Amino acid sequence: MKVTPHTGGFGARIEGIDLSRPLDAGTMAAVRDAWSAHSVIYFPDQPMDLDALEAFTLQLGPFGEDPFIKPMPGRPNVLELRREPDETATNFGAGWHSDWSFQSAPPAGTILHAQVVPPVGGDTLYADCYRAYETLSDAMKAMLAPLRAVHSARQAYGPSGVFAKETGKRTMQIVVSEEAEKTVAHPLVVTHPVSGRKALFCSPVYTVGIEGMTRPEGMAILRFLFEHITQDDFVYRHHWATDMLTLWDNRCTLHFADGGYDGHLRVMHRTTVAGAPPHP
């Protein structure tokens, strides 16, 4: 197994292993270490069927719960992120977010396996929430330390959310629901349960305020943090290839699905790894 980290250590390429078969304990431990060290890890040239994708996911942990999107038939834990060449709706995931952060126990990880990669566009951008936190001033860190951010799916999946207002054609089956109106509060600064490092935990898609503050007060702080987290210094642009599998850590990263492939088919299979409630 060969691990090639990116400059700065955020993101790494892993080669020399076959994910289509169960990994032995030593190799799995090395994969976990690489994931902890680099937050986003990717494995090129990994042709695998859905059984193998599910099996690899379960080696990392139990499946997470994926709400608001209909899964693949007969595969309740696999989402197919498909965009047909003639679709006019915005590409799925086109906003900075950490997957399902509105859950009481958001997923620890997300896995995406590339089936059909368009010849142009379709990159995924990842933001390093560790470095975003670590580069803040001591005064800002002290101010943020006790704060709890309010997360909700309403801006995306609520009755008056983005998907409810959509008029363009979309192949993926999105479920708009009153359930999306619910809120949950998490620490604004979390401590990663494996690495022990602190990270900012908020996103423009799912974070709607700060507990105990008026909306204008909370959003003033959040807008600063959103801009800070997603500045170029902290962002890695990921280029996909067919059969590439990518695993990212929702506890210390945000991601954004870039478009730019209108007129081309793009198909990905996605699973999530269950997580625990975030702690400061």
Q: What is the pLDDT of residues 185-200, one digit of tens each?
A: 999 999 999 999 999 9
Alpha-carbon distances, residue 204 vs 17, 97, 159, 268 (angstroms): 36, 7, 18, 24
Residue 23 lies in a domain: yes
Instruction: Give a yes or no: residue 279 inside a domain.
Output: no
Is residue 280 in a domain?
no
| Predicted pLDDT at 168 | 87
* 124 in a structural domain: yes
Q: Is residue 171 part of a domain?
A: yes
Would residue 161 count as lying in a domain? yes
Task: Confirm whether 278 is domain-assigned.
Answer: no
pLDDT tens for 112-135 read 999 999 999 999 999 999 999 999
| pLDDT at residue 85, rounded to an integer | 96
Number of domains composing the chain: 1
Does a structural domain hold residue 49?
Answer: yes
Looking at residue 200, which CATH number applies to its domain? 3.60.130.10
The mean pLDDT value for 240-257 works out to: 98
> Whole domain around residue 16: which residue ranges?
2-273
| pLDDT band for position 167 (cuts 50, 70, 90) | confident
Give the whole-number percent of the chain exceeding pLDDT 90.
Answer: 98
Q: What is the pLDDT of residue 278?
A: 98
Q: What is the C-alpha separation between 192 and 187, in angstroms, rounded?
A: 12
pTM of the model: 0.97
Q: Is the pLDDT of residue 263 over 90?
A: yes
CA 45 from chain centre, in angstroms, equals 22
